[in-house]
Amino acid sequence: MITSHLNDTPLGAPVFECISQDPKFSFYWHSHDFPAPIARWNYHPEYELHLIRYSAGHYVVGDYIGRFEPGNLVLVGPNIPHAWFSELDDGQSVIKGRDVVLQFKGEWLEHMMALCPELNCLSTLIEDSALGVEFKGRSGTLCRTAHQNGRAG
């Protein structure tokens, strides 16, 4: 049985997350804390590229349970339940800015691939995301570094 590290109760059914993407933009990019209302066992029709910047713990993508640490980078396909649960240190109530999340619609990617045939090399990766794809090694570290270097201030 999968349980939440927050209170050792079963996760139960995942919550449907309605992502309100501004039609002026191709994707939705945000950062959030843990715990936070958005950091829960959920699913949605968009693809999600999920980067953990701080902390360690366990994550669940579909029926896979794994460990994560800073630099964990996972591509989650549409409608795949997923969640990341950090291990909070004694006296720690929140991990600020733990996650950076990029969410995009499959239709957008299909249009981009039709417009730029060079992107067709992503087809296998997108198919594999139906089970979740974890980027190992330097990929997560490079993504985290690029995000930090691109951040203002």
> pLDDT by residue (tens digit) across 84-93?
999 999 999 9
**CATH code of the domain in which 59 resides:** 2.60.120.810
Dihedral sign for Cα 25, 27, 33, 39, please. positive
pLDDT > 80? residue 37: yes
In this prediction the pTM is: 0.84
Mean pLDDT, rounded, for 61-88: 96
Q: Residue 141 has what pLDDT?
A: 60
List 59's β-bridge partners, or say none.
66, 84
**Residue 143 domain-assigned?**
yes
**Residue 22 domain-assigned?**
no
**Residue 106 domain-assigned?**
yes
pLDDT > 70? residue 19: yes
**What share of the chain has pLDDT > 70, as a percent?**
84
CA distance 67 to 3: 14
**Residue 133 domain-assigned?**
yes
Taking phi over 0 as left and psi of -120 to 50 as alpha, with beta for the rest, 28 belongs to: beta
**Residue 72 domain-assigned?**
yes
List the domain range (segments joined by +) for residue 107: 28-150
CA distance 60 to 76: 11
What's the total number of domains in the chain? 1
pLDDT > 60? residue 64: yes
**Residue 36 domain-assigned?**
yes
Mean pLDDT, rounded, for 138-153: 58
